[in-house]
Chains A and B, each alone.
Chain A
Amino acid sequence: MKHYITEINPNGTIAVDDTILVKEYETTAGSKILEGFVPLFSAEAVERLINAGYEISGKTNVGEFGLDLLGEFSNSGAVCDGEYLVGAAADLIAKGEIKGALSVDLNGAPRRAAAISGIDFIKPTYGTVSRYGVIPCACSGEQIGVSASNADGLKELLSVIAGHDDKDGTSLPAEKYEYSLDENVSGMKIAVIRELYDKASDGVRAGIDSFKEKLTAVGAQVEEITFSLVEAAQTAWQIALAAETCNNVSRYEGVKFGYRTPNYKNIDELYVNSRTEGMNFLSKAAILYGSDVLSKGRYNYCYDKTLKIRRVVHDAVKAVFSEYDAILAPACGETAYVPYDIKDAFSRVFAESIFTAVPNLTGIPALVTNGVQLMADVYRESVLLSIAKSAEGRE
């Protein structure tokens, strides 16, 4: 069990997940297939942090390509606190060893990790932070986010890394974003999604109830709503994620970089054995499922339908935000997770993604604090940061 796949500077205060490039330091995305890969450039977000005077402590352990729950299927092994799984970067922040971290949120892993470890994490609006230098997996919905011990830390780091980048074709035009912790939470209307609340365990529901009380105490109005599209969003994001993963990881074949099998007699065996030995079963399952939903006979039924569902969910979310300032929901179904067999991973991760899929599918920002998840309309990170700030220190 190790928190860092690559250690860089023992005095560094910011960790960078191993799905994000740091120049001249091995970057594997938690996968054997990228063993030995040393990038020639750093991710734009990393460059901005370094230019602002931050020092990088190291590359933190992640599950292969960030696809699992909490990094449990990293090629370097899971990180546990006692018998329970924790996210590597989140655990380091919770223990006070670092100030913050950069992570890629493609299926909710950093949000889950923040909830489990009791720290804060924000996945900002899609396109506001450059994805240049992220090892790509699910490009249409993955986003670099930041972790810290509190809302001030999130604001500080997000302010440094957000803004337009010419090198990312999906980067939005604003050069800079101004984030605030001071929006008036009193009078805000917050919606709790009943379908997600009902699916969570008793422990998670107790956390939501407690946070509702904090919101009410600062004058916010909390109401329960129904949002019947959560399962469709979950399925649609799983299909999009698998399809995009299938395409993005097709580049790993043991020739240009990373792992090459010693077991081959010809080029076909080199490709098949390098990929088969280099990737775990969860990645293989995502690739095979993604390849199937993109196939001629299934494209319209699955992939095309998914892209239409994305618009339906997007419009429904907009309708919620026309009435409410934010949504309150569980970040995950349980308060703790123990290691499990990788053969169950695809189903386990899919089941958990019901809590995290909507922000990935629709690009809206999501923030985890006090073990719960808040979502807001695009560009409204300040609403989320202000709610998180207002809840701090309230028992």
Chain B
Amino acid sequence: MNKDKLDGLQQLNELCLTEDEQTVMLDIFDRMKVFEDRMQQIDTENVEVMVHVMPMVNVLREDRREQPFTRESLLEGAPEHTEDSWQVPRLVR
């Protein structure tokens, strides 16, 4: 990890760290690298990845139309909204 890559990660995640925080973050990456490297020593050849810890089944049902929430109730939680839409700054000039 380096400053340029960290800049890229911040941009990708819509975040902006202070200079001080960036120094701490680079140190975190260095510390975690030690543990990541140690984890590689465990032999996982021919081991299948385990995404779900418990057996999962695909649950299917017929499509049905429902409207659990109204547009008004969903908009009520928005920081800014018009009568029927979320409000954001102008996107097109």
User: Which residues on A are within 8 Å of B, measured CB to CB?
Assistant: 36-38, 40-41, 125-127, 140-141, 166, 169-170, 172-173, 229, 231-232, 234-236, 238-239, 246, 250, 253-260, 264-267, 270-273, 275-276, 279, 281, 284-285, 287-289, 291-292, 301-302, 304-312, 314, 343, 346-347, 350, 361-363, 378
CA–CA, A232 and B74, complex, Å = 43
A140 touches B12 (CB 8 A): no
A308 touches B50 (CB 8 A): yes
A307 touches B53 (CB 8 A): no
Give A171's nearest chain B residue, CB to CB: B59
CB distance from B56 to the nearest CB of A (A): 7
In the complex, what residues of A have CB within 8 A of residue B21's CB? 281, 284, 343
In the complex, what residues of A have CB within 8 A of residue B91's CB? 267
User: Which residues on B are within 8 Å of A, measured CB to CB?
Assistant: 1, 5-6, 9-10, 12-17, 20-21, 24-25, 28-29, 31-32, 35-36, 38-40, 42, 44, 47-54, 56-57, 59, 68-69, 73-74, 76-80, 86, 88-91
CA–CA, A50 and B57, complex, Å = 29
A362 touches B53 (CB 8 A): yes
A311 touches B48 (CB 8 A): yes
B80 touches A260 (CB 8 A): yes
Give A311's nearest chain B residue, CB to CB: B50
CA–CA, A273 and B6, complex, Å = 17
State whether A288 and B39 are in contact (beta carbons under 8 Å apart), knowing that A257-B77, A363-B53 are contacts in the complex.
no
Q: Which one of B9, B10, B54, B90 has the greatest number of beta carbons of chain A within 10 Å? A: B54
CA–CA, A304 and B76, complex, Å = 41
CB distance from B76 to the nearest CB of A (A): 8
In the complex, what residues of B have CB within 8 A of residue A256's CB? 77-78, 86
CB distance from B45 to the nearest CB of A (A): 9
In the complex, what residues of A have CB within 8 A of residue B54's CB? 125-127, 170, 172, 363, 378
In the complex, what residues of B have CB within 8 A of residue A38's CB? 76-77
A235 touches B36 (CB 8 A): yes
A238 touches B32 (CB 8 A): yes
Q: Is the interface of B mostly helix, strand, loop or mixed?
A: loop
B89 touches A312 (CB 8 A): no
Partner of B49, one of A40, A291, A311: A311
Give B46's nearest chain A residue, CB to CB: A308
In the complex, what residues of B have CB within 8 A of residue A264's CB? 89
B53 touches A141 (CB 8 A): yes
A287 touches B15 (CB 8 A): yes
CA–CA, A125 and B36, complex, Å = 27
CB distance from B79 to the nearest CB of A (A): 4
A291 touches B9 (CB 8 A): yes
State whether A267 and B14 are in contact (beta carbons under 8 Å apart), knowing that A235-B39, A260-B80, A314-B50 are contacts in the complex.
no
CB distance from A32 to the nearest CB of B (A): 12
CB-defined A-B contacts under 8 Å, sample of 6: A40-B74, A40-B77, A235-B36, A253-B14, A285-B24, A307-B51
Closest 5 CB pairs of A and B: A363-B53, A260-B79, A307-B49, A311-B50, A308-B44
A236 touches B39 (CB 8 A): yes
CA–CA, A389 and B49, complex, Å = 37
CB distance from A253 to the nearest CB of B (A): 7
In the complex, what residues of A have CB within 8 A of residue B20's CB? 343
In the complex, what residues of A have CB within 8 A of residue B28's CB? 285, 289, 346-347
CA–CA, A135 and B36, complex, Å = 28
A288 touches B15 (CB 8 A): yes
B47 touches A308 (CB 8 A): yes
In the complex, what residues of B have CB within 8 A of residue A292's CB? 1, 5, 9, 29
In the complex, what residues of B have CB within 8 A of residue A229's CB? 42
Give A267's nearest chain B residue, CB to CB: B89
B39 touches A250 (CB 8 A): no
In the complex, what residues of A have CB within 8 A of residue B14's CB? 253, 271-272, 275
B53 touches A270 (CB 8 A): no
In the complex, what residues of B have CB within 8 A of residue A272's CB? 14-16
In the complex, what residues of A have CB within 8 A of residue B42's CB? 229, 232, 309, 312
